[in-house]
Amino acid sequence: MSRAAPLITYLKQLERGGQTHIRLDEEAKELLRSQLRAQRGRASPPIPLRSRGVASLSAGASTGVREESTPPSLPTVEAGGSTSAEKLDSLRVQAENWGPARSLGSLREAMVFAVGNPEADLMLVGEAPGYEEERRREPFVGKAGQKLDQILAAMGFAREEIYISNICKFRPALKNQTTNNRKPTPEEMNACLPFVRAEIGIVQPKCIVALGGTAAEGLLDYQNKPVGRMRGHWHEFEGIPVRVTYHPSYLLHNDSAVSEKRKVWDDMLSVLEFLEIPISEKQRGFFAGK
C-alpha cells in the first residue's frame, strides 16, 4: 500500500459525505503530488518506510529534535474552543470519526479518548484501550489501571490531577475477540498520533511518561528497543521531556519481581524530582530492604 493510501481513502470518505473542500498542509499536498508522479510512471522520491504520519496542530507548533523525522501523510487536526478543556473536547469529537484510523479496518468501533486534568503538569501515555477501557470509554480502568492508580497514589497524585491518554484511541481488533487484547500496530498508532500530538500541544505538560515499549515506540519512533534500554534517562517529544517506564500490566504478572517494581518506582521518583515535588523519606525508602 502506498504511503498516500490512508490520506486518499480519507479524502474519498469526505467526498462521499458531500465535502467539497479541505485544507491540507504542504506536507500532505506533497504526498499527493508524489503519488501522482508515481502513477504517471515517473520516479518519485522514496518515502521513508515508517512515516510518522502527522501534520502539526498549527504551523510552527512543531519544533525540536524530531522535526526532521516527520514526513507527511495525514491531514491536520485543528482544535476548536478557547480553554484547554474546550479544545480537548473538540479533539474528542473529531477523534470519533477519524478517517485515517477508521479506514485501516483493524480497529474496533468505540473511541476511547483521554481523561484527567486539561492543564496537568504530568501526562501519561499508554498503548491502547483494552476490554474494560472500551466498555467504560476511559483509559486505564481495568486491572492495569488499578495498578497505575496505586503507583500514582504512592507518588501523591490523584488520577484527576494528571492527564492520561493512549497512543491509539481505539481497541485493536482481533478475530473472535472476547476480553482478549492486542497491541496496536505502528500504522494504528500513526493514524492516531495527530491527536496525541494535539493533546500534548493543548495540555502542555511539564513532562510525559510513556507507559511501556509500545507507547514509547509510537511516541518516540524507536523500533523494537526494549524498555530496559529506554528507561533511566530523558527523551524528548517536541521539546517536552519524556520518561519511559514499564507498562503497569507488566507489573501484574505473577512473576514480575520486586526488582521490576523498583525500576518503575525509580522512574517515577525521577519524574517527581523533575517536577520539583518534594519526596518524603517514606517514598524514597519504599523498596528499601525488599
Q: Which stretch binds ligand URA (CB under 6 A): 12-20, 27-35, 123-131, 277-285?
A: 123-131
CA distance 129 to 115: 12
> Which is closer to ligand URA, CB of 127 or CB of 199?
127
Residues numbered 156 to 175 that lie near ligand URA (CB under 6 A) are 166
At 234, is the secondary structure helix, strand, or coil? Answer: coil
Q: Judged by CB under 6 A, how many residues of this single chain contact ligand URA?
A: 11
Q: Which stretch binds ligand URA (CB under 6 A): 98-106, 139-147, 199-207, 266-274?
A: 139-147
Q: Which stretch binds ligand URA (CB under 6 A): 60-68, 88-96, 125-133, 263-271?
A: 125-133
**Residue 130 within binding range of ligand URA, rule CB under 6 A:** yes
**Residue 144 within binding range of ligand URA, rule CB under 6 A:** yes
Among all chains, which residue has been given the C-alpha cell 500500500?
Answer: 1
Buried b vs exposed e over 213-232: b needs ≥16 C-beta within 10 Å? bbbbbbbbbbeeeebeebbe
Residue number closest to ligand URA, CB atom: 126
Q: In the Cβ-directed half-sphere of 127, how many Cα atoms lie within 13 Å?
A: 22
**Residue 126 within binding range of ligand URA, rule CB under 6 A:** yes
CA distance 205 to 185: 26
Give the Cβ contact number of residue 19 at 10 Å.
10
Residues numbered 45 to 104 that lie near ligand URA (CB under 6 A) are none
> Which is closer to ligand URA, CB of 6 or CB of 142?
142
Dihedral sign for Cα atoms in the order 4, 198, 117, 148:
positive
**Residue 188 within binding range of ligand URA, rule CB under 6 A:** no
Q: Angle, to 10 degrees, between the axis of helix 26-39 and the axis of helix 5-16? A: 100
Residues numbered 28 to 47 that lie near ligand URA (CB under 6 A) are none
Minimum distance, C-beta of residue 24 to ligand URA, in the bound complex (Å): 31
> Which is closer to ligand URA, CB of 28 or CB of 189?
189
**Residue 199 within binding range of ligand URA, rule CB under 6 A:** no
CA distance 167 to 210: 9
Residues 108, 170: contact at Cβ < 8 Å?
yes
> Which is closer to ligand URA, CB of 51 or CB of 166?
166
**Residue 140 within binding range of ligand URA, rule CB under 6 A:** yes
Query: What are φ and ψ of residue 274, in 5° steps?
Result: -60, -40
Q: Which residues bind ligand URA (CB under 6 A)?
A: 126-130, 133, 139-140, 142, 144, 166
